[in-house]
């Protein structure tokens, strides 16, 4: 049983949280760019 526990591989909760934060930041950045482009079009 202990050999099984030491041989498991995967991501830690911290690593998963960091990945989710990065993905969220990228999505939010794209939304900001899209919103700025739409605002630019509407103000012309």
What residue ranges do the domains of the chain occupy? 11-43
By residue count, the chain amounts to 44
**For the segment 2-41, what is each residue's pLDDT rounded down to a tens digit?**
555 666 788 899 999 999 999 999 999 999 999 999 888 8
Which segments of 1-44 does DSSP mark as H helices, in order?
A: 2-7, 13-43
Distance CA 1, CA 16 (A): 26
pLDDT score of 33: 93
Residue 37 to residues 2, 25, 29, 42, 43, Cα–Cα distance (Å): 57, 18, 12, 9, 10
Name the CA dihedral angle for 15, 20, 23, 29, rounded to a multiple of 10 degrees: -120
pTM metric for this prediction: 0.63
């Amino acid at each position: 049983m202990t050999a099984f526990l030491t041989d498991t591989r995967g991501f830690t909760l911290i690593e998963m949280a960091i990945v989710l934060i990065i993905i969220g930041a990228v999505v939010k950045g794209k939304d900001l760019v899209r919103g700025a482009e739409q605002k630019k079009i509407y103000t012309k």
